[in-house]
Amino acid sequence: MCLEPSPPPPGRLTRRGVLAGAAALAGTAAVLSAAPPAAARQGEPAHPAGPYGDLVIEGGTLLDPATGEVTEDAVVVIRDGTVDRAGARRGGAVPGDLPRLDAHGHWVLPGLVDAHIHLSTVAEARAAVIRGATSARSGSTTFYQDIAVRELARRRPGSAPRLRAAGVFVTPDMGDSVLADPDLAALVGQKDGVRSAEALRRVVDVNAARGADVIKTRVNERAGLPDQDPLTQVYSYEQLAEVVAAARRHGKGVLCHGYSEKGCDDAVRAGIRSLEHGVFVHERTLHDMRSRGTYFTPTLAAIAGLAESSDPLLAERGRTYLPVLEDAVRTAHEVGVLLAAGTDSSGGEVTPIGHEIELMHAAGLSPLDAIRTATTNAARLLGLPGTAGRLAPGYAGDAVVVDADPLSDVSALSRPVRVVRAGRIC
């Protein structure tokens, strides 16, 4: 079905108005117009005004996920939000004029990366940071709230993770999203929903115009709704290829929600950047992912959470799906597919990204490889290989401090003692 001819309003005015609405819904406009954050809590170093901080984290045991190197009595020097030095204390003098964070008796790691999370409000963004996620990739929001959160992160880093925003979902039924954006209004009343090549391109193009960094679509229905069957395919290979082609014209990758064996295979062959959930992905598809460089974000925490649902259908779905997904994760790791950790948190409930690391380890990854899914691997997926995932010169001054050796007890990452974002203690 063709779209009704409806020339959009002038792009600049439309973008301004739409994103202003997104900021109001997310609550970021109020935060940015308020006074700067108050001074640090008692006993913590005070910081001068400005979004990026200076800090020395000293005395802890430093873990570099990229190399696996462990450095005791380490010092991390952060200047203006960027790591200036990280390594053994004996490697040089420690600046005496910078605020200090005493990490003696603790382990220090780079800030963690949540590669699949839905951040629609200031409260959710802040919760993600204090639970250890200093960088993240959005799994979409209803009305571009993630774009507003991304802008908040740039101006108030302690309030939100560094974010790759996905804008609105490319899905057959877009719900109220089409009513909230003038440039999507032409999609209202489409008999088959957003399925034609023209409609799919329209949603991708509008997302790009609104400033989305990535594009989110689906190949199957949702697992978390009892009235949907996650094995039902909603887009064909050809439709997914149309979404991918449209995204590539804007220089953007596609993350795709999928569950069924055929759906996952169609999505990977269509050229997606990462497969999300992927419970019934087949081994041959995993080999194809390895050769294509397609990432796998299994969102184990979200699937495990279904088993705790009060709805018996969802609870049974969770109990059935989790061991299948664990096998898929283990096989993917053995094949050489790059795994990225993502919690799929949404609706105000933010799961610590450290819990996803725990579940990666439970699925068969070593502690170090599990940690890499939320550091170096996820950073590469987000296009941040020189910014996130390590504490090394030139990287972002983001860190988590935990009270136990995560190589022996990965659960320590679910309960960070301190989180540092851009050189400031959160």
Task: Give me the pLDDT at residue 2, please.
Answer: 47
Three-class HEC string of the chain? CCCCCCCCCCHHHHHHHHHHHHHHHHCHHHHHHCCCCCCCCCCCCCCCCCCCCCEEEEEEEEECCCCCCEEEEEEEEEECCEEEEEEEHHHCCCCCCCCEEECCCCEEEECEEEEEECCCCHHHHHHHHHCCEEEEEECCCCCCHHHHHHHHHHHCHHHCCEEECCCCCECCCCCCHHHHCHHHHHHCCCCCCCCCHHHHHHHHHHHHHHCCCCEEEECECCCCCCCCCCCCECCCHHHHHHHHHHHHHCCCCEEEEECCHHHHHHHHHHCCCEEEECCCCCHHHHHHHHHHCCEEECCHHHHHHHCCCCCHHHHHHHHHHHHHHHHHHHHHHHHCCCECCCCCEECCECCCHHHHHHHHHHCCCCHHHHHHHCCHHHHHHCCCCCCCCCCCCCCECCEEEECCCCCCCHHHHHCCCEEEECCEEC
Task: Give me the pLDDT at residue 19, please.
Answer: 87
Task: Give me the pLDDT at residue 4, please.
Answer: 47
In this prediction the pTM is 0.93
Task: Give me the pLDDT at residue 366, please.
Answer: 98
Task: Give me the pLDDT at residue 1, please.
Answer: 40
Residues of the chain with CATH 3.20.20.140: 112-388
Task: Give me the pLDDT at residue 65, please.
Answer: 98
Residues of the chain with CATH 2.30.40.10: 40-110+390-426
Domain 112-388 architecture: Alpha-Beta Barrel (3.20)
Task: Give me the pLDDT at residue 164, please.
Answer: 98
What does the pLDDT profile of the chain (426 residues) look like in tens digits?
445 444 544 555 577 888 898 999 999 988 887 756 544 444 455 545 578 999 999 999 999 999 999 999 999 999 999 999 999 987 567 888 899 999 999 999 999 999 999 999 999 999 999 999 999 999 999 999 999 999 999 999 999 999 999 999 999 999 888 877 999 988 987 888 999 999 999 999 999 999 999 999 999 999 999 999 999 999 999 999 999 999 999 999 999 999 999 999 999 999 999 999 999 999 999 999 999 999 999 999 999 999 999 999 999 999 999 999 999 999 999 999 999 999 999 989 999 999 999 999 999 999 999 999 999 999 999 999 999 999 999 999 999 999 999 999 999 999 999 999 999 999
Mention the CATH class of domain 40-110+390-426: mainly beta
